[in-house]
Amino acid sequence: MADTNQYYERFNLPQSPYFLSHSVGCISKLSESMLAQNFLEPWKTSGGNAWGPWLELIGEFDAALARLLDSDPDYFCPQQNLSSGFTKFLMSLPKPSAKRNKVLIHPDAFPSMGFVINAMQKMGLELAYVQPSAPTQQLQMWEESLNDTIFCALITHVHSNTGHVSPVSEIVKLCAGKNVYSTVDIAQSAGILPISLSSWNADAVFGSCVKWLCGGPGAGFIWTNPNILQRLRPSDVGWFSHEDPFEMDINSFEYAGTAKRFWGGTPSIAPYAIALGGIRCITEIGVENILDHNRVLMRRVLSNSESVASHAVDINHIGGTLCLPVKENLVNKLSEILNKQKIFFDQRKHVFRLSFHIYNNERECQALNDAFAQVSLN
């Protein structure tokens, strides 16, 4: 297990055990200093001339993502969040035919992504669901659902309410074989599961830095595959989507040759200064290292949760969050005890969500185990 004491110091942590990294990861000290030095300081000392260092910072953000996710900085473009990246991507595709107009999604995908598809009805798109199944049956379900009415698929790498991991590479391959655009949501996996965008070879990937990357809200991103990039025609554009933003000719617009064609008007900078600190901090510690630590703590909690769990959780098919289904009659009692102890967790009905990051430790997990024991005694 990683010696987390050497890593605690790098984060600002709440007083009591924090198991909410699937919601908001804790802010690193590096993020605080990046915000002060790379965003506020240039502004304070040089006003509008801060754009030079600010745009350099965005370049570093793209480069840090490229390193973390095994790709090239030019294929990334900052976006406010995943929903907006997904909307922009769908709007950049050629118009779907009336026969092949469905966007396939798992029913456990994050609702926001379903809202995006439904809002695209005016573009002729329709939402379709993959049949829900046990994690081991997922690939078969995708294969059965990828028929010739499907235009695009959104694969959620890690589902937020079950923790289940999707076999992304295999689903992307199925999509490619059926001429379906493949896209991936990595909101719940970036920073906790190793990811190689180059190996996945999906058409587009959407992510954010707010969870396991400890990068705060507002620093999302889109990644687009270089093989289709030149054919993508975003509708939501601005001068920063231009090949030369400073050309300043209203009659001349040329899409940027890189994924920056998805950027738009004057970009925000501050969220990316914070996020860059988070990504660098996580990359330095190492995703593999964080995942190993996560598994040690998760196993410890899982093996003590049998008395409260309504059914078993298979650690081999989940991301960094333990989505623990609690017996109906114990739900209120357990949440009461955890709240009383000021433990940070959340609930989706009877499912308790607990995330184990590098800044969590055995002592905190013992507090959970004690709570389980207390609930089952009563």
Ligand X SMILES: Cc1ncc(COP(=O)(O)O)c(C=O)c1O
Whole-angstrom distance, CA of residue 125 vs CA of residue 128: 10
The reply to whether 187 sits near ligand X by the rule CB under 6 A is yes
Whole-angstrom distance, CA of residue 362 vs CA of residue 171: 36
- Determine contact, residues 73/197, Cβ cutoff 8 Å: no
| Strands 351-355, 346-348: pairing kind | antiparallel
The reply to whether 81 sits near ligand X by the rule CB under 6 A is yes
DSSP assignment of 96-109: PPSSS-EEEE-TTS
Spatial CB neighbours of 65, under 8 Å, sequence gap ≥ 6: 71, 73, 76, 207, 221, 223, 279
H or E element that contains 89 = helix 82-92
Order across the sheet with 346-348: list the strands.
321-325, 351-355, 346-348
The reply to whether 215 sits near ligand X by the rule CB under 6 A is no
The reply to whether 182 sits near ligand X by the rule CB under 6 A is no
The piece of 79-87, 129-137, 281-289, 290-298 that touches ligand X (CB under 6 A) is 79-87
Q: How far is the CB of 233 from ligand X (least distance, A)?
A: 22
The reply to whether 162 sits near ligand X by the rule CB under 6 A is no
The reply to whether 321 sits near ligand X by the rule CB under 6 A is no
Whole-angstrom distance, CA of residue 170 vs CA of residue 182: 11
The reply to whether 232 sits near ligand X by the rule CB under 6 A is no
Q: How far is the CB of 130 from ligand X (least distance, A)?
A: 15
The piece of 77-85, 236-244, 258-266, 326-334 that touches ligand X (CB under 6 A) is 77-85
The reply to whether 83 sits near ligand X by the rule CB under 6 A is yes
Which residues 191-210 are close enough to bind ligand X by CB under 6 A?
208
The reply to whether 220 sits near ligand X by the rule CB under 6 A is yes
Q: How far is the CB of 189 from ligand X (least distance, A)?
A: 8
Angle between helices 168-177 and 138-145 (to 10 degrees): 20
Q: Choose among 373, 277, 274: nearest CA to 333.
A: 373
Question: Measured from the CB atom, is 187 or 291 closer to ligand X?
Answer: 187
The piece of 26-34, 55-63, 80-88, 237-245 that touches ligand X (CB under 6 A) is 80-88
Interacting residue with ligand X among 185, 279, 319, 372 (CB under 6 A): 185
H or E element that contains 204 = strand 204-208
Q: How far is the CB of 60 from ligand X (least distance, A)?
A: 22
What does the binding site for ligand X look like in residue numbers (CB under 6 A)? 81-83, 110, 112, 156, 160, 185, 187-188, 208, 220
